[in-house]
Amino acid sequence: MPGFELFGDLERKEVNDVLDNGVLMRYGFDGMRKGHWKAKELESELTNIFNSNYVQLVSSGTAAVSVALASAGIGAGDEVIMPTFTFVASFEAIMMLGAIPVLVDIDDTLTLDPKAVEAAITSKTKAVMIVQMCGSMGHMDALKMICTKHNLIFVEDACQAIGGSYKGKPLGSIADLGCFSFDFVKTITCGEGGAVVTNNKDYYTNADHYSDHGHDHVGNDRGAETHPFLGYNFRISELNAAVGLAQVKRLPEFINIQKKNYTIIREVLEKIPEVTFRTVPDGGEESYSFLNFFLPDLDTSRKVSKAFKDKGVDVCWNYYDNNWHYIRKWHHLKEAKSLYPLTSEIQEALSKLRTKDFSQSDHYIGRNISCLIKLSWTEDEVRARAEKMANSITSICG
């Protein structure tokens, strides 16, 4: 991770195919494109990878979450439960629909704590969205049972987890709807792009129409298409899809590299008594895009993070003070800083975040260090990196 590290001839070929026929839009212009349909081809490849019936490409992972929720009828005034540890896009995508983000604690999987989810359910709750942060999953069976019990839509934001699996099923294919990102720093990149994955035909049809201004895509004359309902523009371009089409064919290659590099580092760090690792539920396999481990306390993790930087160990983070991925520094959300008026329901929900106790999440995020696993490292570089990391930790914890 990320896939751009290994761009090559296959990516160039697919992009040049689009440039040669001149059609950059995924819909219409049938006569000009000489049989080239990159978005359709990529969707077909992804249905096989995710072992799912339907895939709808969209313009980003953020768009994928909004389109997924909208396709299931979730909107104004509906509550969507989500974790405290994610990317800001999670609550942005919810609020875009007029829905209300309800943030709850994570556990040692670094994803939703099922007990916290159950405690947060109200009469307004319509969906639970797990975010498979840093390439791994939460307690999927428990969360699915909660959703079934309360008749809630279960959504997987697997934007960072392509290639991971749970009990033989690809992450993103387990819930009612799955969401993926193919932005520039994902394992599979389109530059910008995303996908909605589902086995529900109605959700797929809704996502297909909604992401293209409500077009029904019936027939082969775009100008004659009807609009069964309102939609918006969340289309992916053929150029973006072309890059993704090349990259997705290389996914097994990328996952193998990630697993190799991840394993080398982990085998060194697991010898250190003070280091423990995130919980991966039984039957689960990470995508190996990140290595996440815990240290004894926040102070130690901060010191180790600084030591890593001093030794030139890059792309490792303690998210406790991060303003992109953890609730502590989401001041713009807590203070409802919006360019346009928000509903009173949303404002009231956000105001509660200023005083809500997330000490359980603090306990895990404060002690966690997350290290991105690069595809471009040589084995010698990985081993040298692992040694620097181990020396930094033992010098502080010893």
Contacts of 76 (CB under 8 A, 6+ apart): 97, 98, 99, 343
Nearest to 246 by CA among 60, 35, 45, 26: 45
d(CA 48, CA 279): 28
Give the count of beta carbons closer than 10 Å to the beta carbon of residue 218.
10
DSSP string, 10-75: HHHHHHHHHHHH---BSSS-TTTTTT--HHHHHHHHHHHHHT-SEEEEES-HHHHHHHHHHHTT--
Helix (H), strand (E) at residue 299: helix 298-310
d(CA 331, CA 83): 16
d(CA 119, CA 220): 49
Nearest to 38 by CA among 48, 27, 47, 49: 27
- What number of H helices and E strands is found in the chain? 14, 14
Residues 49/251, Cβ–Cβ less than 8 Å: yes
Q: What is the CA radius of gyration of the chain?
A: 21
In this structure, is the dihedral angle defined by the CA atoms of residues 42, 181, 107 and 345, taken in order, positive or negative?
negative
**Which one is catalytic: 38, 126, 186, 374?**
186
356 is catalytic: no
At 143, list the tokens. Answer: 């969360």
- For 226, 232, 377, the CA distances from 213, given in Å and listed in that order, are 10, 4, 43
Active-site amino acid positions: 186
